[in-house]
Amino acid sequence: MGRYLVRRLLYTIPVLFGVSLIVFILFHGVAGDPVIIMLGKHASEMQVRELRHELGFDQSLGLQFLNYLKQVATFDFGRSFATRENIGSMIWNGMGPSFLLASLGFFSTLILSLIISIACAFYRGRWFDRGVGFICVVGMSVSALAYILFGQYVLAFQWGWFPISGYENGFPANLKYLAMPVLIWVLVSLGWDVRFFRAALLDEAYKDYVRTARSKGLSEVTIFYKHILKNAMIPIVTYVVIQVPFLLLGSFLLESFFSIPGIGYITVDAIRSSDFPVIKATTTLISIMMVFGNLLTDIIYTLVDPRVRLR
């Protein structure tokens, strides 16, 4: 197990290097000249040259890439073009609201969807399974924007159940501002999760080892919870853990509409103002979290199925 973990950790080094290289190429080769974007096309040559020197864009690409790797290693991306605020402080301050919103929405959806999908798989083909399937399809067909507009206009504005938008630091004062975004998160995600988990469980329910266990006289409850549920954990774990890197970024759409000062809100605001250092920092952050999310998936695989580490 130790050798397996060390090997997986070593694999992440070239992957992180490749991710950093791709992000660097995208921002320097595709995004355009940030100096011209900041100053405007009518800026003088002297202004362009001075700002380019100040930001280090007059250096060779190789030296700029080394500086970018240093920024990634230290997570020090300098200051925002728009606000002149330290980007590390901006991201650190945005982590709390984003993580709280995302974790509440993610784990609420996960627990509910697992309970509902297990019930659907156990009572497969009956009225409960069919009814839940119909509701899931209806819920998946409605846009997230429709849920947001309905929640803000009906639940918040007309009925006054929730604040329309805003955020207040401190627990539990912030929960009243997160209640409706979390509810919308659950409504948007529940149908997709239930259908996926149900399909993973039913895929195992018709395999040969289940028929063998049934022929030995084991009860349906024992077969389902001891065999089917355990073997269905591999695709379920994959689906769940691959979403973990996005927890820190929360939901861009929810944070924007509800004015929650998280990383998603910061990123959207940076895109509007062409604040390239902030966009680069958040892009790098989600890329790194994606790499370590895959690493976490591999580690959890070994706990669910010990045969994985022997491959």
- Tell me which residue of 251, 244, 255, 253 sits closest to 290, measured CA to CA: 244
The pLDDT of 113-119, averaged and rounded, is 87
Q: Are residues 70 and 101 in the same domain?
A: no
Which pLDDT belongs to residue 227? 75
Task: Indicate whether 49 and 196 sit together in one domain.
Answer: no
Q: How far is CA 248 from CA 170, 281, 283, in A?
A: 18, 13, 12
In a domain, 82, yes or no: no
**pLDDT of the residue at 112:** 92
- For residue 111, tell me if it sits in a domain: yes
Q: Which residue has better confidence, 248 or 176?
A: 176
Same domain (yes/no): 16, 131:
no
The domain total for the chain is: 2
- With respect to residue 144, please indicate whether it lies within any of the assigned structural domains: yes
State pLDDT tens for residues 262-298: 888 888 888 777 777 888 888 888 778 777 777 777 7
Q: Residues 54, 98: one domain?
A: no
Other beta carbons within 10 angstroms of residue 151's beta carbon come to 21
Q: Are residues 254 and 115 located together in one domain of the fold? A: yes
Angstrom distance (rounded) from CA 121 to CA 223: 12
Choose the final residue of a domain: 12, 40, 74.
74
| Same-domain pairing of 171 and 35 | no
Looking at the structure, tell me whether residues 140 and 228 fall in a common domain: yes
Q: Are residues 293 and 188 in the same domain?
A: yes
Is 86 within a domain?
no
Q: Are residues 176 and 44 in the same domain?
A: no
CATH code assigned at 218? 1.10.3720.10
| 83 within domain boundaries | no
Q: Residue ranges of the alpha helices (H) in 40-160? A: 45-55, 61-74, 87-122, 127-141, 144-150
Span 129-172, pLDDT tens digits: 888 888 888 888 888 888 888 888 888 888 888 888 878 777 77
pTM: 0.76
Asked whether residue 137 falls in the same domain as residue 17, the answer is no
Determine the Cα–Cα distance for residues 273 and 10; give it in Å rounded to an integer.
38
Residue 266 and residue 208 share a domain? yes
Residue numbers of the domain that contains 124: 94-310
Domain presence at residue 80: no
* Residue 56 within any structural domain of the chain: yes
Asked if residue 140 belongs to a domain, the reply is yes
Average pLDDT over residues 19-46: 72
Q: Do 125 and 69 belong together in one domain?
A: no
